[in-house]
Structure 1
Amino acid sequence: MIDFKVLSDYAATFTHSENDLLRQMEEKAAEIYIPIMQPSAMAFLQQLIRWRSARKILELGTAIGYSSIRMALAAGNDTTIVSVERDEAMIEEATQNIEALNLQERIQIVAGDATDDLSEVASAAPYDLILIDAAKVQYEHLFEKCSGLLADQGIIVTDNVFFHGLVCDIDAVQKKQLHRLVKKVDAFNHFLSEREDFDTIFLTVGDGMAVSTKRSCAEGER
């Protein structure tokens, strides 16, 4: 049987970053393990933004600004991206990367914890698309908060929902803390599948991605 990571790496060979800075960011992230989206997942997210003509986007977890930049490039000039990050060093580096590409008018970084009620986030709602790429243990809580900020028939994308394939064999995970985290991710996946106000599909791109589309009011009344 083909290893999931090998297949994901194969898919990534067919994706290409838009500029040298993004390629440098990918190399740095791989070298010192900065959590950015895998290339194949990022490429799909960009296509999803184009398909849905998403112009107002919320991102939970800025890191070094990689996803924000690529989403802004896919969405176009009239984009508004609000990205939440609590790590000051990450915010500083992300700001430098965003300004290097003159995208500061499209991308606003909000300093704070994504689990908190942040006025800058609420004031920009509703969002066409929300990306959850923050602490996995908080996924369910973050989704609940996000759902109220989403436009009718908007989309919530959650990254890393397969957690390196560990969700398929939780009992084999020996370390207690890791086992607890994997169980949390698995529980979140079940939580998504059981929601009646969203339609969710799970995709085997990158490290697993859930795409949840908010049902319209008319659909919810059926």
Structure 2
Amino acid sequence: MIDFKELSAYAAAFTCSENELLHKMEKKAADIYIPIMQPSAMAFLQQLIRWTNAQRILELGTAIGYSSIRMALVTGGGTKIITVERDPAMIEEATQNIKALNLQDSIQIVDGDATEDLPEVHASAPYDLILIDAAKAQYEHLFQKCAGLLSDKGIIVTDNVFFHGLVCDIDAVKKRQLNRLVKKVDEYNHFLSEQPDFDTLFLTIGDGMAVSTKKTFTAHEGER
């Protein structure tokens, strides 16, 4: 049987960074474990932005600015990205990386907790695409907050929904804190699948991605 990690690595080998700074960010993230999107997941997200021509994007979880930079690069500067981060060190580094590529007009970092109501986030709504990539234990809460900020044809993308494959065998996770977190992610996946107003597709890309779109109801269905 083919190992999923090996297959993911094979797919990732066909992706590449747009510039040297991004390559350095990827290396640093790997060396000291900064949570950034896996290459194949990032490539899919970029393609999704191309397909939908997203003009307003909200990202929850900036880290060092890797995802927001790659999203901005694929749009050619025509998109406004609002990205939320609460870690001061991450904000400082992300700001430096964004300025190094002269993307500060396209990317706005909001200093705050993504689970709270942030005026800067609401001011730029509605969003064509929302990326949830923050605290996994808060995914369900974040989705509920995001749903009201989404445009009618918008998309919510959630990263890391397979959590290194641990969601497939939760009982095998013996560390108590990790086990609770994996259960939270699993509960979130079930929550997504049961949303009456959203259709969600789960993809085996990167560490697992969920793509959620609003359901469209016909006039006949609305009368039921």
| Shorter-normalised TM range | over 0.9
Matched, 1:68 2:76: no
Match of 1:87 in 2: 87
CA distance in 1, matches of 2:207, 2:170: 16
CA distance in 1, matches of 2:26, 2:66: 8
Match of 2:160 in 1: 160
RMSD of equivalent CA atoms: 1.2
**Shift in Å, 1:77:** 1.8
Match of 2:222 in 1: 221
Q: Deviations over 1:43-102 (max 9, x none)?
A: 000000000000100000000000000001112222100000000000000000000000
Q: SS of the counterpart of 1:199?
A: strand
Match of 1:187 in 2: 187
Match of 2:127 in 1: 127
**Shift in Å, 1:23:** 0.4
With normalisation by structure 2, the TM-score equals: 0.96
Match of 1:111 in 2: 111
Q: Is the 8 A contact 1:152 1:217 kept in 2?
A: no
Matched, 1:14 2:14: yes
Q: Is the 8 A contact 1:152 1:215 kept in 2?
A: no
- Which letter maps to 2:52? R
Match of 1:59 in 2: 59
Q: SS of the counterpart of 2:108?
A: strand
Match of 2:178 in 1: 178
CA distance in 2, matches of 1:100, 1:177: 38
Large movers: runs of 4+ above 6 Å: none
Q: SS of the counterpart of 1:78?
A: coil
CA distance in 2, matches of 1:91, 1:217: 41
Q: SS of the counterpart of 2:90?
A: helix
Gaps of 5+ in 2: none
Percent of paired sites with the same residue = 77
- Which letter maps to 1:147? A
Matched, 1:43 2:43: yes
Match of 2:3 in 1: 3
**Shift in Å, 1:217:** 6.1
Q: Is the 8 A contact 1:85 1:91 kept in 2?
A: yes
Q: SS of the counterpart of 2:185?
A: helix
Q: Deviations over 1:12-34 (max 9, x none)?
A: 10001100000000000000000
CA distance in 2, matches of 1:112, 1:5: 34
Q: SS of the counterpart of 2:103?
A: coil
Match of 1:202 in 2: 202
Q: Is the 8 A contact 1:153 1:215 kept in 2?
A: no
CA distance in 2, matches of 1:217, 1:62: 34
Q: Is the 8 A contact 1:91 1:109 kept in 2?
A: yes
With normalisation by structure 1, the TM-score equals: 0.97
CA distance in 2, matches of 1:148, 1:217: 18
CA distance in 2, matches of 1:41, 1:221: 36
CA distance in 1, matches of 2:48, 2:19: 20
Gaps of 5+ in 1: none
